[in-house]
Amino acid sequence: MGGEERPAAGQVWSPAAYAANAAFVPALGEGVLGLLAARPGERVLDLGCGDGVLTARIAAAGARVRGLEPDPAMAAAARARGLEVVLADAHDAIAGGPYDAVFSNAALHWMRDPPRVLTRVFAALAPGGRLVAEQGGFGNVAAVVTALNAARAAAGRAALSPWDFPSPALARRRLETAGFAVETMELFPRPTPLPTGMAGWLGTFAAPFLADLPEGRRPALLSAAEGLLGALRDPEAGWIADYVRLRFRARRAA
């Protein structure tokens, strides 16, 4: 990229914390894996592969899969599964192509310049290749974001919008501008039980809301946000996050 500045993800990951607090993310990946329908011998790139749980599922289908992951700890966790993983950022040119398919689950919403990422993906695909992805969609964790920003306001900090949760219309426009033909696009609610409660979720995912606070003030902000989210706590089922997912398949013209 030369002197071009790369957008920051705003999050540092812990594989152990992710496995403890967010194992539901790959566990709920069956639908997007089915949309990918990887075939034996296909070259597949898992964009933002994390700790490689779903990457391993793609490999088990017989595809020649490579992970791309910008976080060193998560990349190491994926490699520990015996997977090939490139430590890189999807905002940069993607090496190793052309790929028959690019797959991504719960990663695109962390990428701060979606049009640039889609341009990189398009260039990495073979003619006729497909992009299959699921990410947070419009309205995803809206209550959580509102609570975090209310807690930030009380702490004298400005509101933030660190994630990209597009509507189907916006996602389609971005894809078509990058040169893709959109084949399927679905926005759907998915209320998601949190195995370690809202505190575990916030401790795993809310780092972008804390970066401008002294470390000693961060626990109080998270506690204040949790205190505003009682409406997401079912008396029988416990904490349930207000997830909304966007799932799509798009193809590079042959």
Per-residue pLDDT tens over the stretch 191-239 = 999 999 999 999 999 999 999 999 999 999 999 999 999 999 999 999 9
pLDDT score at 3: 35
Residue 178: pLDDT above 50?
A: yes
Residue 8: pLDDT above 80?
A: no
83 within 8 A of 26, measured Cβ to Cβ:
no
Higher pLDDT among residues 103 and 14, named by residue = 103
Per-residue pLDDT tens over the stretch 78-99 = 999 999 999 999 999 999 999 9
The DSSP code sequence of the chain is -TTPPPPP------HHHHHHH-THHHHT-HHHHHHH---TT-EEEEET-TTSHHHHHHHHTT-EEEEEES-HHHHHHHHTTT--EEE--TTSPPPS--EEEEEEES-GGG-S-HHHHHHHHHHHEEEEEEEEEEEE-TTTTHHHHHHHHHHHHHTT------S----HHHHHHHHHHHTEEEEEEEEEE--EE-TTHHHHHHHHH-GGGTTTS-GGGHHHHHHHHHHT-GGGEETTTEEEE--EEEEEEEEE--
Higher pLDDT among residues 93 and 8, named by residue = 93
pLDDT score at 254: 72
**Which strand ranges, in their side-by-side order, compose the sheet holding 192-193?**
192-193, 238-241, 233-234
pLDDT score at 228: 98
Structural domains of the chain, ranges and CATH numbers in brackets = 15-141+163-193+242-252 (3.40.50.150)
Number of residues that make up the chain? 254
Per-residue pLDDT tens over the stretch 18-74 = 766 666 676 778 899 999 999 999 999 999 999 999 999 999 999 999 999 999 999
